Structure 1
Amino acid sequence: METTIFSILGEGKAGHGAIGAVGYRLDQAGSHDSLLHDFEFLIMVVHHGLEETEQRIEHGMSGDSAYQLLHVSSREIERGILIGDQRDSVKYFLHGEIIWDIEGKLMAFRSYINEFGEPMKERRKLKEFAKFLKVYGEAKRYTAEKDLLDAYYCVLQALKHYARLELIEQGILPESSVWEQVRPLNSVVYKLFDELTENSETLEQRIQLVLLACEFTLASKMADCCALLLRILGSRKEAWGIQELAQVQELEHVKDELPLLLRKLVTRSLAQEITKAHKEGAGDSRELRYRA
């Protein structure tokens, strides 16, 4: 990385909570993605405790080089790992060149992310399974309606979530090039990807074949992938309301998918559904609550 780029932003001007800066240079042979666009350099200044309203962006020139400068929160980077979005930001943070590092805090944080420890892995697994479950259901609906192009798209997305689950189970952090990551594993999901995209059978037959495999995956992986949610459901004698679960910090990243996950766990007899009379309410209206 060029000297002029190193000197764009020093430690003293980075602002409160800054722990370090990472620089990434565009591979001229590569594509322009959502963060680099046609900039030659991306610089990320990472902060602990940076509020969303304090995150900043700057476009500039250093000599003949155009750059994009981002101030990002370490919390947002970790959230990107748990949710599985912002894959470009995560890639640049993990693979960029460290420009400066205050007391080794940036390197320590990057090591923590790279280690992809069990708590983080468990939460990411739950999120990917929830996404898999959602698009699998959409694929089944589109197939039943003979809307095969939309069904094909959803099945392909389901396989990508399945592939990420396989990577997570191997202790590998999924990145943007998921098929390149999963190819060396000689996994079931890559064979299914080949069946979907290369098989000579009709489109509907290929979709049905992959849906059948997804149904088996759903049944075999649900208990393991939902271990975090099941543990929380069994953590007390009193059953949980949906709103209570949505407020649990460990489940914040899947609060939108909680209704779907809970209903599937009940359907598969992995969780119990009970009813509780409302304290105040007309008629026989009762609240549905859940426990393991």
Structure 2
Amino acid sequence: MEQVLRPIYQERASSPETLGVILVEKRGTGDPITDTFDEIMLIITSNEETPIYTKHYSDGSGKAAMHVISEKQLRKWLLLGTRRKVVDWLFYGKIFFDRNEFVEGLKKELREYPFYGRKLKMGIELSRLVRVYMEGKMFFEQLNYMDAYHYAIQSLHHLARLTVIEKGYAPEVTVWTQVKKIDPAIYKLYEELIMSEEPIEKRLELLFLASEFFIHNRTLDGARHIMDVMSEKETWTIQELHEHEELRMYSINLEVLIEFLIEKGFIKIVESDSKNEYVFHRDYSVGY
């Protein structure tokens, strides 16, 4: 479909707001990298009015998707790791237009500064890991093994991503290929969960025991970002934490992470009087 799409991306490239145009071809039938489309056309723009604009095309025999993404939105995705396919698109796509070498510069930035935003990324991934681990363990203790298995898989996935980020790499869609090289012990844990012939309850028991060890070993590094933020002042209300520009990115997992870090001694509770003499305000400060 490249020839069919050419007039479209040429028109987009003529706009002064367009920073880059990348074409990604599918590598096989049902390729998840391209969302099963034959072609993905990624257009990066400086226009912030519509951060994400998507359009689908067909020429009768093939289909393509065009994604127009603002630079700000793209950088947010890269920082948070919420659109892992975008990393693959940037590195493996064919560049058709590159204003002032913006795309090449972005790729160079990702290669040469892999630790950019590392503490924030690790914090967000730790918060996700803690939530799904706790939910999975709860289901396991309730003997709901299939639900526990679902969350166990998720927790391992977040642990894998956390490990990759810790080593200074960007997690790819094929994150387990990365983990197999970076941390074989975590890969082995994943392998045993999904491939072992042991009863599911035994596999889950092993997983939750081992995960506790892996989480413990990564809590200090994973908590550095929120600890650095909280060091900016003596005490914080939960609302102030939610409204902080960077902590907003933790989304619904922020409070779970805070409670986890209280339990581990990284954050301490600061009580103060309220209008009701029987109830105290519960604020937070760095625990050490």
- TM-score for both structures, normalised by structure 1: 0.88
> What secondary structure is seen at the aligned counterpart in 2 of 1:104?
helix
Residue 219 of structure 1 is matched in structure 2 by: 216
Letter in 1 for 2:5: I
Letter in 1 for 2:251: K
CA displacement at 1:184 relative to structure 2: 2.4
CA displacement at 1:131 relative to structure 2: 1.0
In structure 2, how many angstroms separate the alpha carbons of the residues matched to 1:54 and 1:171?
A: 28
**Contact 2:114/2:170 (<8 A) preserved:** no
Structure 2 CA distance for partners of 1:9 and 1:152, relative to 1, 3 Å: same
Identify the match of residue 105 of structure 2 among 105, 108, 115: 108
Residue 277 of structure 1 is matched in structure 2 by: 273
Structure 2 CA distance for partners of 1:105 and 1:164, relative to 1, 3 Å: same
CA displacement at 1:266 relative to structure 2: 1.0
Residue 20, structure 1, aligned to residue 20, structure 2: yes
Query: CA offsets, 1:109-168, max 9 Å, x none?
Result: 232234454342211111111111111101111111100011111111111111111111
Structure 2 CA distance for partners of 1:204 and 1:69, relative to 1, 3 Å: same
Structure 2 CA distance for partners of 1:240 and 1:16, relative to 1, 3 Å: farther
Q: Which runs of 5+ in 2 are unaligned?
A: none
Residue 247 of structure 1 is matched in structure 2 by: 243
**Contact 2:26/2:34 (<8 A) preserved:** no
In structure 2, how many angstroms separate the alpha carbons of the residues matched to 1:44 and 1:101?
A: 12
Residue 55 of structure 1 is matched in structure 2 by: 52
Q: Percent identity?
A: 24
**Contact 1:49/1:75 (<8 A) preserved:** no
CA displacement at 1:253 relative to structure 2: 1.1
> What secondary structure is seen at the aligned counterpart in 1 of 2:100?
coil
**Contact 1:6/1:99 (<8 A) preserved:** no
In structure 1, how many angstroms separate the alpha carbons of the residues matched to 2:51 and 2:195?
A: 48
CA displacement at 1:13 relative to structure 2: 5.8
Deviates more, 1:168-177 or 1:82-91: 82-91
CA displacement at 1:49 relative to structure 2: 4.3
In structure 2, how many angstroms separate the alpha carbons of the residues matched to 1:135 and 1:12?
A: 42
Q: Report how many aligned residue pairs link the two structures.
A: 286
Residue 157 of structure 1 is matched in structure 2 by: 154
Deviates more, 1:137-146 or 1:177-186: 177-186
Query: CA offsets, 1:233-279, max 9 Å, x none?
Result: 1222x20111111222222210321111111111111111101234x
- TM-score for both structures, normalised by structure 2: 0.89
In structure 2, how many angstroms separate the alpha carbons of the residues matched to 1:55 and 1:217?
A: 37
Identify the match of residue 282 of structure 2 among 279, 288, 291: 288
> What secondary structure is seen at the aligned counterpart in 1 of 2:170?
coil
Residue 46, structure 1, aligned to residue 44, structure 2: yes
In structure 2, how many angstroms separate the alpha carbons of the residues matched to 1:119 and 1:285?
A: 43
Residue 256 of structure 1 is matched in structure 2 by: 252
CA displacement at 1:35 relative to structure 2: 4.9
**Contact 1:94/1:114 (<8 A) preserved:** no
Structure 2 CA distance for partners of 1:231 and 1:77, relative to 1, 3 Å: same
In structure 1, how many angstroms separate the alpha carbons of the residues matched to 2:71 and 2:252?
A: 23
**Contact 2:13/2:20 (<8 A) preserved:** no
Query: CA offsets, 1:205-234, max 9 Å, x none?
Result: 111111011111222211111101011112
Structure 2 CA distance for partners of 1:182 and 1:226, relative to 1, 3 Å: same
CA displacement at 1:63 relative to structure 2: 9.2
Query: CA offsets, 1:96-118, max 9 Å, x none?
Result: 11110111122212322344543
In structure 2, how many angstroms separate the alpha carbons of the residues matched to 1:242 and 1:176?
A: 34
In structure 1, how many angstroms separate the alpha carbons of the residues matched to 2:12 and 2:209?
A: 58
Residue 33 of structure 1 is matched in structure 2 by: 32
Identify the match of residue 191 of structure 2 among 176, 189, 194: 194
Letter in 2 for 1:79: K
In structure 1, how many angstroms separate the alpha carbons of the residues matched to 2:64 and 2:132?
A: 37
Off by >6 Å, runs of 4+ in structure 1: none
